[in-house]
Structure formats: C-alpha cells, structure tokens
C-alpha cells in the first residue's frame, strides 16, 4: 500500500532529518529560544501532580522501548517465564497510565489556570495533544494487544534497525492493526515537531552537572603576557 | 595567594530614608519588561518585616544557601544527583504569590466611562493574565511597619530574642524600624552558580559580578530557590532566569550603578576589594560566631607589597590596585571594621556590605511626659555605656549581619556612637576633653580615625563614594579578537530579540 510506504518508509526519514538538522541549527543560532519553559512560578499545585507523574512515567516507558530495541534477546529470555512476563507487562501498563494521568492533569492545568493560559502558545497545545495521543494509544495497545514486550522484539526491533540501514522493512508493520500504526506514525510526527517545540528541552537534560565543579568563574581578560602570546598583533 | 578583585557596594543604613528611588531607577533601567514586572533586582524593605519575597529568610521553606556540618559544606537545596531528580518539580521554588501578582490599572475607563452620578474608577488589571484582579499584596506591602501584626512580628530574625523584648518592640513607645536596601550580593561562594544544572550562571573573574548566560539557561530554576537572598528571578515570559547585573555596562563605562547613582540619601558607596581566592574554603567553613572574622581575613590589604605583587601576577591592572587602595568599601569593611555582610551564616560569602543602623534615643514616660532615659551616672544620652538598651535590640542586628554574634555588633555601634559623641563635643562644645578621648579609646578608635569616618560618612563627593577603576574593555576584546576585526564587526549582524521560544 502506498500509504504504508509514505508513513513507514518516507515519513521516518523526513522526521529524523528535521529533528537532527533543526536541533543543531536552533542550538547554535537560536540558543535563547531553547528552554524547558517552566511555569511552576505561575502555578505549582497542579504541576506537582501532573509534571512528576508524567515525566517519570514517560521516561521509564521510553527506557522500556529502548531496552526492547537494544536487548531483544534478553527481553525474550526474561519473558520466557510467564510470571516475569506478566510482571513486566503490568509494570509497563501502570507506568503508561501514570504518565497519561499526569498528562491529563497538565492539559487540564493549561486550560483552566488563567496564569498558565497567559503563557500558552499554540505549539504548547500541539505538543500536549501529540504526547497525549502517544500515551493513550500506548496504554490501549498494552491492554488490547497484549504481550507487546514480546512482539515488539520481533516486529519493531527489526523494523527500526532496518530504518537505520536505509532498507525499511515496511512489510513488517503493514499488517498491524491501525491503533498500533497510529502510535508509530504519531511518534514520527513527534520527532518532526521536536526541534520546533519545547520538546527540545529533552536533549538539554543537564547530565554534565554531575561532573562539573560547583563554582564557575570565567576570566574575560587573559593574564597579561599570555594574551600577547596568543595574539601577536603587530608582528 | 590567589588575588582577585571584586566590585563591592556598601550601604550606610543610618542614612537610608526608605524613598525607594534606587528601586525605581533599577526598574526603569532593567526590569520594565514583560515577564519582569514583578522583579525588583533592587528592593528596599522595612526591618523588622517579612521582606520580599515574603519570608525570604525562612530557609526551612526556601532551602537557600549552604549548610556546614563541621566537615563538609553542602547546598541546602540539593545534592547534584538530587537536583537532577527534582528538575520536573522543585518543591523549594517560591511561587508568584510569594512575590506578588504584578498589576496595572485600566486608566482608559477614567476617560471613556459614560456620564453618571459616580466618579469613574480605574480597576486593577493583572499584568500576567490581562484580566481584572483583586490586589492582595504588592511591592513593599509592609512598608514602614504596615500590617505589622502579620508581617513585622513574624520576622525570622526575632526567632531567638527573649519574649519580653519582642513584646516591648510591639509597644507604640518602643516601636522602631529601619530600611534594608537589597541587591544581589554577588557572593564569593554563590549558591545560585552551584545549583544551576546547566552551568549557565558564572562569576566574572575581573570584578566578581555574578551573571546568568541566558543562552545557556534552560529554566530548571534551581538558582531561584538556591539563592538565600532570593535575588535570582524567573522571567515567566521568556522562560529564563534573571538577576542584578551590578549595572556592569555602566561600571565598564565609568559610571556608578543606577541604584547608587540615584540614591537620595547617598547611603551607597562603590569600591574595589582585593580578596584571596585560595582562602575561600576557610572563610565559608568556620563556626557561626567566627564567620565575620574569617570574612574580614579573606579581604586583603591593598597596600601590602606582597599583595600588590600577587595581584599584578594575576593580571590585575595597577588602576584596579590603586582603586582598591582608595576604596570606601575597604575602609569601612576592613580598616574601620564598621560594615558587615548580610546573613553571613548562609555561607555564600556575600560581597555587599551594611553599616548597621543606630537606634533612636531611648525615652521613658514619666507622669505622662516623655523624657530622655538619662540618669546622672550615664556619660552620654546616646547610651554609649548601655548599647544593650538600644531600641533596636543588638541581638536582632546580630541575627541580620553577624550570624548571631552580638559582640561584633556592639563594637560597631559603640564606634559609631563614639564618632557622634566626638563630633558633637567638637562642634557644639568646641573642646575635646580627656573624657572624650578616653571614650574613643574605649570604642577602639582614635581622633584621627573618627575624623576620617565622619568625613567619608557625611561629606563624600562622588569621587570619594564611587571609586570605579577603568575596566580596560579593550584588553578583553584583544583577548578574544583582533581589535581591527572587532571594530569592523560592531554595529553589524542580526540582533535576536529575547523572545519566548516555542
């Protein structure tokens, strides 16, 4: 089907190109616009329930996806024992619901709090809707098409790897139910929107903080003598 | 010895009249923008009072500054890993209502209202939502002890004062207040820099100004909670942190900061201090009572040949060294030991200094008449011998300026009183007797020093009060770029307005 080719063989490359190129451009030439745009100053109670639930839920779920991509065999071995499979599935589902609940609170907060609405841009709503679709379809898939922790490794792990070697195996995803397809297409859209939206703050997560010294002192003026050595003007 | 120079400001609290001209000058210059309406990089608060933001000194709530357990110095806010865990929600962050919701008034209503029996009114409009709002609080809501039952008597600095003193201070006859102008303290051990996960905040080596690189700021907003003075602010519109920049564009062109320049009472002094960066750990990690001594020790004598040599080796220009020698900050802080940092117990080593205020003369009611509280055996009605009877309790000032060490405050108050008594004898009585000289000695000073203090306190001209060295920006440019290339570049290029990102 032509649509499958567009969505699963062309769209991913457009999205990835945009994500990489625009992110680099924005980080270098528009650094002022890169911010997590926190609104905690304006409202904190709903943010507490929304932000913590959403962020921790989604980070753990995403790490789960990454695990299935990088260690498919290990995951299958783990799932070989039913009790471990049920435990993993349930944990994933619970985290997904946690993230979805957080998102709902965040959307409610954004629409109901006057102060937060004052700093809301259309892009903020686009981002929220995309992320909600992602979480909602994810939770539904986990309930309706069970044991995704296992079938992901045989469908999506090879599909995603095939994208990276530029030989997309569309035939792997073509026969999937529309709900799962929506989840995937929505992810590619999210990837395309990523560099144009506040989502870009994900890659600025400051891990460098763990290793840098506490204090930062910047010398604008070099020590006399060394500056002359570095810039031998008039010579 | 690792000598660095620091631009410091000094506030002579006895001269502050609480007119807020400094705040307005600062606001007009720097924070008259969307998202910055609620910020007061410079504010003047009434002490005793709740301050701005409300109860900023309550570090149990806001978790600002550093903690020292006798061995290690820790940020009160978080460990590094703990800070990364709290990025999504920072429980210690103040919210807008801890400052106030900025507002304006719908003035058009005064002109556009239809004819009627009542005067038209301009209703308050929120500067954030643009909708009508009810004003619950505003800048300086507790100015001059307004609403003191709610604000002043809940001042954190009353915490360890005896109940009797607290009750006395609430009596109308004994009520007393003062003003405390506050800007960023441009600390030597800034908690905001240490708390910033992005590493966006830094201290300039050449003059010690602490700045936020807004291109690196990612709105993790840890600095706002970590600063114990609550002098880093979050711009809710641009999504970036902002703070006092000590008017560095003015300093670099030889002008005093806007707050100092506009000061009506001329309470502010600007000057260079030389300090030893190698001694900072010993300065921050001592017991509360020894903090002030350690703080005075880290400041170096700019006349000491060894210091001068080390300063030159570190690239400090001679103009800065001579500015340090003329510095009013050096004289008041180190030489005369009259000025103290605000809340040294936060251990950020703040570099803005305050000369504690004297109290009004104590009076008593006798037969329904007010009388000065002077008896035969007291040498002077300024209560030189009984500073503990001052209307502003010594312990209260000690809680503000010397980490609770009252003896440091007493010495300063006695010295300031000695200056007053000496000058009164000189100008009113016309003679300095033995008794007065003995009194000076008791206060740990001498006639020469007293005259110098008097002169710099009461009659400084602009060049005495603001000793601003040449910044030599040209050498800073040379360090990065060919001057001729730089000259060709200035005035060209695209300017990106600091607008909120998507």
Q: Residue A112: list chain B partners with CB under 8 A.
A: none
Tokens linked to B55: 């109860």
Q: Quick check: A204 and B198 CB within 8 A?
A: yes
Asked whether A127 and A193 are in contact (CB, 8 A), the reply is: yes
Task: Confirm or reject contact between A40 and chain B (CB < 8 A).
Answer: yes
Residues A220, B204: C-beta atoms closer than 8 Å: yes
Using a CB-CB cut-off of 8 Å, the residues of chain B touching A233 are 478, 482-483
What pLDDT shows up at residue B203? 95
Q: For residues A110 and A120, what is the distance between their CA atoms, to the nearest angstrom? A: 7
Q: Does B85 touch chain A (CB under 8 A)?
A: no
Distance, in Å, from the CA atom of B284 to the CA atom of B136, rounded to the nearest integer, reads 39
Question: CB of B440 within 8 A of CB of B450?
Answer: yes
Instruction: Find chain B residues with C-beta within 8 A of A230's C-beta.
Output: 479
Q: Which one has a higher pLDDT value, B2 or A221?
A: B2
> Chain B contact for A28, CB < 8 A?
no
Q: Could you tell me if residue B79 is left (phi over 0), alpha (psi between -120 and 50 degrees) or otherwise beta?
A: beta
Over chain B (502 residues), the average pLDDT of each successive run of 10 is 95 96 97 95 94 93 94 94 94 94 94 91 95 93 88 88 85 87 97 96 93 95 96 96 96 95 96 96 93 96 97 93 97 97 96 94 65 61 78 93 95 94 90 89 95 96 95 76 77 74 83
Give A125 to chain B, closest Cα distance, Å: 11
Q: To the nearest whole angstrom, how far is the Cα of B417 from the nearest Cα of chain A? A: 40
Of all residues in chain A, the one with the smallest CA distance to B194 is A214
Q: How many CB atoms lie within 10 A of CB A79?
A: 18
C-alpha distance from B424 to closest chain A C-alpha (Å): 48
In this complex, do B476 and A39 lie within 8 Å of one another by their Cβ atoms?
no
Q: Is B7 on the interface with A (CB under 8 A)?
A: no
pLDDT at A224: 42
Whether the pLDDT of residue A230 is over 50: the answer is no
Q: Does B193 touch chain A (CB under 8 A)?
A: yes
- Using an 8 Å CB-CB cutoff, list chain A residues near B496: 30, 32
Residue A229 at interface with chain B, using a CB cutoff of 8 Å: no
The pLDDT value recorded for residue B488 is 75
pLDDT value at residue B363: 65
Q: Which chain B residues contact residue A216 at CB under 8 A?
A: 193, 199, 201-203
pLDDT digits (tens, 9 = 90+) for B398-408: 999 999 999 99
* Shortest Cα–Cα distance, A84 to chain B (Å): 28
Contacts of A44 in chain B (CB under 8 A): 89, 93, 95
Average pLDDT of every residue of chain A: 91
> In this complex, do A217 and B203 lie within 8 Å of one another by their Cβ atoms?
yes
Chain A's closest residue to B221, CA to CA, is A38
- Cα distance between residue A217 and residue A40, in whole Å: 29
B218 and A204: CB-CB below 8 Å? yes
Each residue of A12-44: pLDDT tens digit?
A: 999 999 999 999 999 999 999 999 999 999 999
Residues 6+ apart with CB under 8 A from B192: B201, B210, B223, B224, B226, B227, B232, B243
- Which residues, in sequence order, are CB contacts of B326 under 8 Å at separation 6+? B271, B467
Q: For B299, list phi and psi in degrees, rounded to 5.
A: -85, 130
* Number of other residues whose CB lies within 10 A of the CB of residue B497: 6
Give yes or no for B236 touching A (CB within 8 A). Answer: yes
Six token digits for residue A154: 């045989």
Other C-beta atoms closer than 10 Å to the C-beta of A1 total 9
Of A233, A220, A230, which Cα lies nearest the Cα of B252? A220
Query: What is the C-alpha separation between A78 and A149, in angstroms, rounded?
Result: 10
pLDDT tens readout for residues A170-187 = 999 999 999 999 999 999
pLDDT of residue B378: 59
Report chain B residues whose CB lies below 8 A from the CB of A31.
215-216
Instruction: Identify whether B53 is preceded by a cis peptide bond (ω within 30 of 0).
Output: yes
Inter-chain CB proximity A216 and B199 less than 8 Å: yes
State residue B153's pLDDT score. Answer: 87
Residues of A in contact with B224 (CB under 8 A): 41
pLDDT in tens, A86-112: 999 999 999 999 999 999 999 999 999
The answer to whether A206 contacts B499, with C-beta atoms less than 8 Å apart, is no
Cβ of B214 within 8 Å of Cβ of A33? The answer is: no
Give the DSSP H/E element, type plus range, for residue B67: strand B66-68
Residue contact A233–B478, C-beta within 8 A: yes
Q: Choose from A25, A36, A194, A198 for mutation: most chain B CBs within 10 A.
A: A36
Both structure tokens of B63: 């978790």
CB of B94 closer than 8 Å to CB of B53: yes
Which residues make Cβ contacts (< 8 Å) with residue B43, sequence separation at least 6?
A: B23, B52, B139, B140, B181, B182
pLDDT one-digit tens code per residue, B211-221: 999 999 999 99
Q: Measure the CA dihedral A117/A120/A126/A127, to 10°.
A: -110
Q: Is B201 on the interface with A (CB under 8 A)?
A: yes
Which of A27, A32, A205 would best serve as a mutation to test chain B binding (most B beta carbons within 10 A)?
A32
Which of B84, B189, B478 minimises the CB distance to A209? Answer: B84
Return d(Cα A201, Cα A208) in angstroms, integer: 15
Measure in Å the smallest separation between the Cα of B475 and chain A Cα atoms: 7
Give CA–CA dist B269/B326, Å, rounded: 12
User: A114 to chain B: which residues are within 8 Å by CB?
Assistant: 129, 131
SS3 call for B100 = coil
pLDDT for the residue B149: 83
HSE (side-chain half, CA atoms, 13 Å) at B470: 8
Contact B239, B219 (CB under 8 A): yes
pLDDT at position A231 over 60? no
What is the count of residue pairs from A and B with beta carbons less than 8 Å apart?
Answer: 169
Q: Which of A25, A28, A30, A37 to mutate to test the interface with B (most CBs of B within 10 A)?
A: A37
Residue A112 touches chain B, beta carbons under 8 Å: no
| Cα distances (Å, whole numbers) of residue A187 to A8, A91, A190 | 11, 22, 5
Domains, chain A, with CATH or none: 2-230 (1.20.950.20)
Q: What distance in Å separates residue B240's CA from the closest CA in chain A?
A: 7
Specify the CATH number of the domain B354-463.
1.10.3650.10
Determine the residue among B213, B497, B501 to mutate to test chain A binding: the one whose Cβ has the most chain A Cβ atoms within 10 Å: B501
């Amino acid at each position: 089907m032509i649509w499958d080719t567009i969505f699963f063989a062309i769209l991913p490359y457009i999205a990835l190109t945009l994500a990489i190129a625009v992110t680099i451009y924005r980080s270098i030439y528009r650094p002022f616009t890169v911010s997590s745009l926190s609104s905690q100053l304006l409202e904190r109670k709903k943010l507490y329930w929304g932000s913590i639930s959403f962020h921790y839920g989604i980070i753990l779920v995403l790490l789960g996806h990454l695990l299935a991509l990088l260690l498919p065999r290990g995951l299958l071995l783990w799932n070989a024992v039913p009790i471990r499979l049920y435990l993993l599935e349930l944990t994933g589902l619970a985290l997904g619901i946690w993230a979805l609940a957080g998102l709902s609170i965040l959307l409610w907060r954004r629409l109901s709090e006057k102060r937060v609405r004052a700093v809301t841009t259309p892009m903020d709503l686009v981002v929220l809707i995309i992320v909600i679709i992602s979480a909602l379809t994810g939770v539904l898939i986990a309930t309706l098409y069970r044991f995704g922790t296992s079938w992901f490794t045989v469908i999506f792990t090879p599909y995603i790897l095939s994208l990276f070697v530029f030989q997309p195996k569309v035939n792997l995803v073509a026969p999937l139910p529309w709900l799962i397809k929506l989840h995937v297409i929505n992810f590619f859209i999210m990837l395309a929107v990523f560099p144009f939206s506040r989502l870009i703050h994900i890659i600025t997560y400051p891990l460098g903080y763990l290793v840098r010294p506490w204090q930062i002192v910047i010398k604008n003026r070099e020590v006399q003598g060394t500056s002359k050595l570095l810039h031998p003007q008039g010579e | 010895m690792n000598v660095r120079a620091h631009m410091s400001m000094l506030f002579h609290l006895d001269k502050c009249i609480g007119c807020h001209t400094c705040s307005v000058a600062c606001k007009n210059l720097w924070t008259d923008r969307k998202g910055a309406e609620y910020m007061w990089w410079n504010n003047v608060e009434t002490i005793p009072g709740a301050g701005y933001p409300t109860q900023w000194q309550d570090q149990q709530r806001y978790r600002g500054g550093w903690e020292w357990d006798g061995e290690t110095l820790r940020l009160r806010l978080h460990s590094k890993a703990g800070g990364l865990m709290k990025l999504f929600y920072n429980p210690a962050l103040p919210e807008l209502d801890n400052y106030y919701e900025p507002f304006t008034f719908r003035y058009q209503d005064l002109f556009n209202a239809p004819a009627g029996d009542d005067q038209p009114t301009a209703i308050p409009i929120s500067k954030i939502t643009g909708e009508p709002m009810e004003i619950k609080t505003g800048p300086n809501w507790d100015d001059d002890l307004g609403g003191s039952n709610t604000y002043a008597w809940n001042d954190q600095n009353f915490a360890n004062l005896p109940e009797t003193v607290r009750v006395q201070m609430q009596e109308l006859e004994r009520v007393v207040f003062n003003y405390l102008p506050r800007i960023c303290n441009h600390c030597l051990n800034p908690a905001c820099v240490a708390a910033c996960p992005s590493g966006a905040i830094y201290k300039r080596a050449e003059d010690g100004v602490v700045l936020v690189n807004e291109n690196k700021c990612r709105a993790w907003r840890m600095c706002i909670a970590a600063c114990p003075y609550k002098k880093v602010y979050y711009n809710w519109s641009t999504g970036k942190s902002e703070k006092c920049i000590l008017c560095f564009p003015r300093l670099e062109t030889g002008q005093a900061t806007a707050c100092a320049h506009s000061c009506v009472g001329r309470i502010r002094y600007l000057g260079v201090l030389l300090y030893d960066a190698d001694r900072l750990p010993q300065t921050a990690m001592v017991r509360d009572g020894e903090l002030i001594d350690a703080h005075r020790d880290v400041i170096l004598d700019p006349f000491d040949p060894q210091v001068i040599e080390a300063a030159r080796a570190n690239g400090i220009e001679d103009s800065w060294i001579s500015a340090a020698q003329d510095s009013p900050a050096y004289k008041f802080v180190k030489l005369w030991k009259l000025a103290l940092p605000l809340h040294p117990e936060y251990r950020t080593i703040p570099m803005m200094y305050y000369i504690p205020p004297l109290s009004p003369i104590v009076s008593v009611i006798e037969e329904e008449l007010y009388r000065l509280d002077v008896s035969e055996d007291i040498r002077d009605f300024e209560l030189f011998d009984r500073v503990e009877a001052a209307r502003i309790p010594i312990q209260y000032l000690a809680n503000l300026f010397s980490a609770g060490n009252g003896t440091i405050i007493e010495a300063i108050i006695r010295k300031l009183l000695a200056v007053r008594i000496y000058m009164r004898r000189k100008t009113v009585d016309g003679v300095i007797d033995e008794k007065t000289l003995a009194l000076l000695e008791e206060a740990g000073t001498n006639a020469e020093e007293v005259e110098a203090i008097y002169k710099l306190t009461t009659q400084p001209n602009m060049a005495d009060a603001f000793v601003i060295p040449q910044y030599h920006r040209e050498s800073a440019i040379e360090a990065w770029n060919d001057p001729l290339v730089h000259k060709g570049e200035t005035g060209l290029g695209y300017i990106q307005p600091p607008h909120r990102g998507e």
